[in-house]
Structure 1
Amino acid sequence: MKYNTLLYYCYSTIADAEQFAADHLKFCKDLGLTGRIIVADEGLNGTVSGTVEACKTYMETVHADPRFAATEFKIDEVNTPSFVKMHVRYKSEIVHSGLRDPHIINPQVKTGKHLEPVEFMEMKDRDDVVVLDVRSNYEHSLGKFKNAVTLDIDNFRDFPAMINELSKYKDKKILTYCTGGIKCEKASALLLHEGFKDVYQLHGGIIKYGKEAGGKDFEGKCYVFDNRLSVDVNSVNPVVISTCYNCGATTDKMINCANPECNEHFTQCDACGDKMEGCCSPACKEHPRKRVYDGTGYYVKVPQPVNKKAKPELA
């Protein structure tokens, strides 16, 4: 049987987002889909996986809703579903940034100029351009565009604090990129708000770039938020840039630490994976709650309450 995995987002106001999340969960389960979807007042952010037929029905139904008619789906063919369970959760944002004032940051109103993959490829090496990776450390350590500026951040919510560090590039054209495009919507909007004049974003992110531009000059693999953990992007001039966290050997294998209280994302070669039993350190290896390492480094998350109103978050 053939399966698809769909990656998508849509910034579009949802009047009763909490109820929508509950209804959408039932709809996805009825289709037999697995995945993770975040619903907020500002829109949808999801990755879902299922049979080709189920995914086709899902896309058609989403597009039939006027609020989400413009949603662009990135479609991957997979041998097995990319998730074990189906979660739809209501949260304050569809990507956690801490930038919740719509009068300041609202991708529906103002954001960076969208570049299609081929346009991005043609612009990225110009002298007046800076290519900016807005993803987290563990993501860009696995793979990034050649010569891209990366940020020392653990989560996207740390991005706003990096604006001063980026001020030296204000006279350049800034080309932002992320996995699927969703983070760039807010990152580019914030850059514009902070006085950057010429800001662009890679439409559809790294995933679309791989499909439409062959992934040229994307070095390494792209981290994804499902049980695949990473995907190949570059079919033109691929290289491996990541190294094993434990021994330093070249490896492109990304895992989560087997200690659930750590759950660190890191690259680890197979030899160290066997030796460390999927853990990042001896302390984690000895932890009483250590999960069984099966060689993949992917673990199903501990179930959490579904569709409960999110608690206020600190900006």
Structure 2
Amino acid sequence: MAKYQTLLYYCYSTIADAEQFAADHLKFCKSLGLTGRIIVAEEGLNGTVSGTPEACKTYMDTVHADERFAHTEFKIDDVDEPSFVKMHVRYKEEIVHSGLRNPNLINPQKQTGKHLEPAEFLAMKDLDDVVVLDVRSNYEHSLGKFKNAVTLDIENFRDFPAKINELAQFKDKKILTYCTGGIKCEKASALLLHEGFENVYQLHGGIIKYGKEVGGEDFEGKCYVFDNRLAVDVNSVNPVVLSKCYNCGKPTEKMINCANPECNEHFTQCDKCGTQLEGCCSTTCQSHPRKRVYDGTGYYVKVPQPINNDKKKKLQPAE
């Protein structure tokens, strides 16, 4: 049995008491010894958690026992160590930031593209009347994407709605959307339908499920993930290295964050350049006084800032 597991999941389901739920859920996760990051909103849950197999099973069983989340699908990875250092559960307006907050227009609980299981997606993706659309951000699809997929120049998913006009040329095609785990496609496909696209589909379970069920065929490169692994293998059928070192241009699949915390850019960098630049994207960042120590991973845990007691005293009301 694996020493640890990492669970990736989301669930669109109405949570009337979302802020209180987030506070209670944090206590529950900590009681199990889990680490991870969960976003809670009135529209549902979006999370990645990591812990022992026993703790993960208890977590999944408890989530499924709540009728609001009974249909939640968990993607499970066996890992050698927890994929996070701390446990965070935060309340936000959306479980994936899209700017599409009008449930009367875009509501994944009411309308989305047709869900395709990985085998169905594999069978359809190369047909003449099909366009495969990556709805992820630049730093994600630069590391890995499906062969011949259409990608968009977006820094964050909230930029996706502004790119709809660029996709108008494909309105007579079947649009197959995909993302890491499926959550972004729920809103992306719903928006495409709202904008008049008639044949819209989405890869159920995303890239991660596709890799597990059909071997990741024709997914080129690695898949970016939002934990300290940063990137995971997907394709065991016909893998290729897609990305190149940001600094020297040589092929590499290693994704890191710039060691300069004021930059913190996501980029691919080979080990040689990583050593020379100490995990920075440039010599300018390398000389920054706040540069973090590069340990070869390019992943940095957020360090709480020390309390400014003088400022705290000024903010306290007079007795």
Q: Match for residue 41 of structure 2?
A: 40
CA distance in 2, matches of 1:165, 1:277: 39
Q: Give the Å deviation of 1:301.
A: 2.2
Instruction: Name the SS of the counterpart of 1:239 in structure 2.
Output: coil
Structure 1 residue aligned with 2:133: 132
Aligned equivalent of 2:216? 215
Secondary structure at 2:76's aligned position in 1? Answer: strand
CA separation of 1:303/1:183 partners in 2, compared to 1, >3 Å: closer, same or farther? Answer: farther
Residue 63 of structure 2 is aligned to residue 62 of structure 1: yes
3-state DSSP of counterpart to 1:98: coil
Partner residue, 1:72: 73
Q: Which residue in 1 is equivalent to 2:12?
A: 11
- Spell out the pairing of 1:100-139 with structure 2 (5 A cutoff): 100-139=101-140
SS in 2 for 1:4: strand
In 1: Cα distance, 2:158 partner to 2:304 partner: 24
1:274 partnered with 2:243: no
2:207 counterpart of 1:206 = yes
Residue identity matched to 1:97:
S
Alpha-carbon distance between aligned partners in 2 of 1:301 and 1:202, rounded to the nearest angstrom? 33
* 3-state SS, counterpart of residue 37 of structure 2: strand
Match of 1:179 in 2: 180
Q: Does 1:232 align with 2:233?
A: yes
Match of 1:308 in 2: none
**Distance in 2 of aligned mates of 1:39 and 1:302:** 23
Amino acid at match of 1:47: T
- Measured after TM superposition, the shift of residue 282 of structure 1 is 1.0
Q: What's the offset of the Cα at 1:302?
A: 4.0
Structure 1-normalised TM-score? 0.96
Aligned equivalents of 2:291, 2:88: Cα separation in 1: 24
Q: Any idea what SS the aligned residue of 1:160 has? A: helix
Does the residue aligned with 1:87 lie in a helix, a strand or coil? strand
Q: 1:32 to 1:130 in 2, by over 3 A?
A: same
Q: In the alignment, what sits opposite 1:27?
A: 28
Indicate the SS of the match to 1:61: helix
Structure 1 partner of 2:311: none
User: Which residue of the partner structure matches residue 148 of structure 2?
Assistant: 147
> 1: CA distance between counterparts of 2:87 and 2:304?
11
> What SS does the corresponding residue of 1:14 show, helix, strand or coil?
coil
Deviations 1:196-220 (A, max 9, x none): 0000000000000000010000000
CA distance in 1, matches of 2:304, 2:76: 27
Structure 1 pair 105–59 and aligned structure 2 pair: CA distance change class (3 A)? same
Q: Secondary structure of the equivalent of 1:236?
A: coil
Q: Decide which structure has the larger Cα Rg and report it.
A: 2
Letter in 1 for 2:95: I
Aligned residue in 1 for 2:160: 159
Please report how far the alpha carbon of residue 138 of structure 1 lies from its aligned counterpart in structure 2 after TM superposition: 0.4
In structure 2, do the counterparts of structure 1 residues 72 and 303 end up closer, same or farther at CA, with 3 Å as the change threshold?
farther
Q: State the match for 1:255 in structure 2.
A: 256
C-alpha distance after superposition, 1:31-65 (max 9, x if no partner): 00000000000000000000000000000000000
SS of 1:77 mapped into structure 2: strand
Counterpart secondary structure, 2:20:
helix
| Distance of 1:301 and 1:158 partners within structure 2 | 26
Q: Indicate the residue corresponding to 1:313 in structure 2.
A: none
SS state at 1:44 partner = strand
**Partner of 1:219: helix, strand, or coil?**
strand
**Which amino acid in the other structure matches residue 247 of structure 2?**
N
Q: Which amino acid aligns with 1:192?
A: L
Q: Which has the higher contact order (CA 8 A, sep 6+)?
A: 1
Q: Partners of 1:32 and 1:39 in 2: how far apart?
A: 19
Deviations 1:70-89 (A, max 9, x none): 00000000000000000000
State the one-letter code of the partner of 1:118: A
What SS does structure 1 have at the residue aligned with 2:239? coil
The reply on whether 1:2 has 2:3 as its aligned counterpart is yes
State the AA in 2 paired with 1:111: T
Aligned amino acid, residue 210 of structure 2: Y
How big is the shift at 1:303?
4.4
Q: Does the residue aligned with 1:48 lie in a helix, a strand or coil?
A: strand
Report the residue type matching 2:209 in the other structure. K
Q: What percent of counterpart residues are identical?
A: 86
Structure 2's unaligned 5+ residue stretches are: 306-319
Partner SS for 1:261 = coil
The two structures, once aligned, show a CA RMSD in angstroms of 0.8
What amino acid does structure 1 have at the position aligned with 2:60? M
Give 5+ residue unaligned stretches, structure 1. Answer: 305-315
